[in-house]
Amino acid sequence: MARTQYATVLRDFDWPRLVKMADDSPCSVHDCVRQTMAGDSPRHSVYLGSVLGLSPSGKYYTGFANGNVTRPEAKRDTAWYAAMDRAAEKYGGSIDSGEHDPCDLYLSLPCPNYKPATFAVAAADVDGVPS
């Protein structure tokens, strides 16, 4: 089933166009959908749609609260999410959910030319003793 879902995901989304749209979007720490824990690396992204309209089941649920989904639906959704992740990784990105609405899905790509700001820290700032 995973191979079939992957082929469907590749066919249903214009991945090169989505990557271009994401590349053309602003790239800053404030505009990113997801910031990595290692250095708050910004990512630019493009909105794909809602889980409610994209996933095979059309449902939102979590592992601990899943009474609204049947086992076959969950199996199809799992294969679909894996296919989405695999397709995004093929283009150097990832699939992320929205910060304010977990039903929103985004294709996120790292900002290739981003250089984090560096700050000089005086010795007094580190140990509290004026230099």
Q: How many separate domains does the chain show?
A: 1
pLDDT tens, residue by residue, 47-101: 999 999 999 999 998 877 788 899 999 999 999 999 999 999 999 888 988 878 8
pLDDT of residue 36: 44
Task: Identify the weakest region by mean pLDDT among 18-22, 51-55, 125-129.
Answer: 125-129
Give the domain extent around 92: 2-127
Closest of 73, 54, 60 to residue 13, by C-alpha: 54
Q: 117-124 long-range CB contacts below 8 Å, 24 or more apart?
A: none
